[in-house]
Chain A
């Protein structure tokens, strides 16, 4: 797991947050995780296949995820229904797609497995002997995590 793999996802996250929410996330800290990614209440998980294999997880506190959908839709949002979870998943998908475009410029060709959205109490993710980098980002509507666990195939 190389730190360089995190940057395209971090950059794409910043770009898309700026574009969709007019929010500019700032990096707070970076941790290496060995066995478990601690989740917050709402998580979007993207699987990655190809030259790099593994996944990327965005994890948000509930109030922040509600605020995100509120900003986008201009509607009152009190629960993460299918509409909201689909929008969150799609934001993750678009960030992932942009990051993969960036990686492809370095001859790393990958694909995204459609996002899964988990809503509930702090869903954690077991890493099964992989290492992950967890980047905590701060914004005006809360703090969230971007975790990247990717290894080069073969």
Chain B
């Protein structure tokens, strides 16, 4: 799921993005598997919980980094993160109310993958461009 073109050239963020894509890929694999749903349910729950937390942690870290570098579009970016979180929370609430069904969790997984690719492929690239424009050290440790 991860592609090198998604790199923004900031190690901390790229590493987290890779992890995030890996987790979403893993999640997609579990929810799309043809094995019995009941048998997968525990794993689905675990992956879901982990990912939910990881997305929040990552967004916080990324926003902190943007503050550090005085990223000018931080407010727009925070709004995009808020919208992303809201999208996740709507499903979390639905699952709490109605339980996890294979149909709904697959629907969630498809959206999550799409949101992630659009966000990282577009919005987050702008952070990398800003760092480069400031003469920042991309991809150097």
Contact = CB atoms under 8 A, between A and B. Distances in A.
Interface stretch (B46-54, B60-68, B104-112, B128-136): B104-112
A20 interface: yes
**By DSSP majority rule, is chain B's interface helix, strand, loop, or mixed?**
helix
A73 B111 contact: no
Interface residues of B, number: 23
Contact of A85 (B1, B102, B110): B110
B106 A81 contact: yes
Given A19-B122, A87-B110, A75 B32 contact: yes
B114 A87 contact: yes
Contacts, number: 61
B13 interface: no
A86 B111 CA distance: 6
A84 B110 contact: yes
A20 B61 CA distance: 24
Nearest to A19: B121
A41 interface: no
Interface residues of A, number: 20
Contact of B110 (A16, A74, A82): A82
B31 interface: yes
Interface string A63-85: 00000000011110000011111
Interface of A: 16, 19-20, 22, 72-75, 81-91, 94
Minimum-distance CB pairs A-B, first 9: A86-B110, A82-B106, A87-B110, A90-B114, A83-B106, A86-B107, A83-B110, A74-B1, A90-B111
25 contacts: A16-B118, A19-B117, A19-B121, A19-B122, A20-B114, A72-B1, A73-B28, A74-B2, A75-B1, A75-B25, A75-B29, A75-B32, A81-B32, A82-B102, A83-B28, A83-B106, A84-B110, A86-B107, A87-B110, A87-B111, A87-B113, A87-B114, A88-B110, A89-B110, A90-B111
Interface of B: 1-2, 5, 25, 28-29, 31-32, 102-103, 106-111, 113-115, 117-118, 121-122
